[in-house]
Amino acid sequence: MERYAVVTGASNGIGMELARILSARGYALILAARRRDRLEALARELPTPAIPVAADLTDPAQRRRLLEVMDGVNVEVFINNAGFGDCGKFWETSPEKEQRMIDLNVSALHSLTKEVLRRFLARNSGFLLNVASSAGLLPAGPYMATYYATKAYVTSLTLAIHRELKEAGSAVYVGALCPGPVDTGFNAVANVEFALPGISARRCAACAVTQMFRRKVLIVPTLPMKAAIALSRFLPRSALVAISARQQKKKFYRKRAGKP
């Protein structure tokens, strides 16, 4: 029976590369995102069968449609990757855009995680990877306050489920991918420019897939980011928030005024 991997947010960036890598490993794919034409183009390119599912995952009815497609096949891997950010002072950013961000990064990921885990637990196997961010390992991110908060939700939820699965003696894997900057469509949507050089989506996805199959619970793709996260444990939370503010402001100004 064909083994399937599901990737949300597969129409661009990290998700598209995750799909390519999993296909090269022999998985058939279910590709979910809103832009149907991009999903169909990717499906044609992949060496294994692929089912494009055009869906806005903030809509519960469209999430249900994705789950129905999954129920017809043997899904072994599910990656909750769709997500986006926004930048600016909290009182100035768009409440509508932030609500969509919470609906996607938190609510959609939360409900898909529960639905998929129940299916995986019923047969005691499966890999579920939630794409968080290095932002989710830090206490807060001024000027990207909502984005950091959504990603903190993802790491917290994932770590808790990982522990529950361990205590239940389950063979089901759950983990969180926590990359630093990756060159994708993220910046254009979040209206920022990275203050640090980004890695390629290909490199990020390759590391994610390797570490997921090694069952690593928190996956941080690069050494400098791993070192920064390790170092952060020795700093007071207030200092970390101040450092995050400085970094986010740089992104913000680079985009708006070309300032360093």
Catalogue the active-site residues: 147
The stretch among 51-59, 167-175, 224-232, 251-259 that binds ligand NAP (CB under 6 A) is 51-59
- Residue 57 as a binder of ligand NAP (CB under 6 A): the answer is yes
Using the contact rule CB under 6 A, the part of the chain among 5-13, 19-27, 210-218, 227-235 near ligand NAP is 5-13
User: Would you call 6 helix, strand, or coil by DSSP?
Assistant: strand
Q: Does 81 bind ligand NAP (CB under 6 A)?
A: yes
| One-character DSSP codes across 165-229 | HHHTT---EEEEE--S-EESSHHHHHT---SSPPEEHHHHHHHHHHHHHTT-SEE--SHHHHHHH
Which one of residues 14, 21, 106, 144 is an interface residue with ligand NAP (CB under 6 A)? 14
What distances in angstroms separate CA 214 from CA 28, 65, 84, 210, 218, one per listed residue? 20, 31, 27, 6, 11
Least Cβ distance, residue 182 to ligand NAP (angstroms): 4
Give, as one character, the DSSP assignment of residue 108.
I
Q: Closest approach of Cβ 2 to ligand NAP, in Å?
A: 23
Q: Determine, following the binding rule CB under 6 A, whether residue 181 of this chain makes contact with ligand NAP.
A: yes
Tokens of 233: 């444990």
d(CA 157, CA 106): 10
User: Among 6, 29, 31, 33, which residue sits at the site for ligand NAP (rule: CB under 6 A)?
Assistant: 33
According to CB under 6 A, which residues from 113 to 132 bind ligand NAP? 131
Q: Is 34 in the site for ligand NAP (CB under 6 A)?
A: yes
Contact residue for ligand NAP among 82, 117, 128, 219 (CB under 6 A): 82
* Cβ neighbours, 10 Å, residue 124: 11
CB of 123 to ligand NAP, least distance (A): 27
Distance CA 90, CA 206 (A): 34
Task: Output 107 or 170, the one with its CB closest to ligand NAP.
Answer: 107
Using CB under 6 A as the binding criterion, the count of chain residues that bind ligand NAP stands at 30
Shortest separation between residue 173's beta carbon and ligand NAP, angstroms = 19
Q: Which of residues 187-246 bind ligand NAP (CB under 6 A)?
A: 189, 198
Q: How many CB atoms lie within 10 A of CB 218?
A: 18
**Whole-angstrom distance, CA of residue 141 vs CA of residue 238:** 11
Rounded Cα distance, 257 and 154, in Å: 32
Residues that bind ligand NAP (CB under 6 A): 8-15, 33-35, 56-58, 81-85, 104, 131, 133, 179, 181-182, 184-186, 189, 198
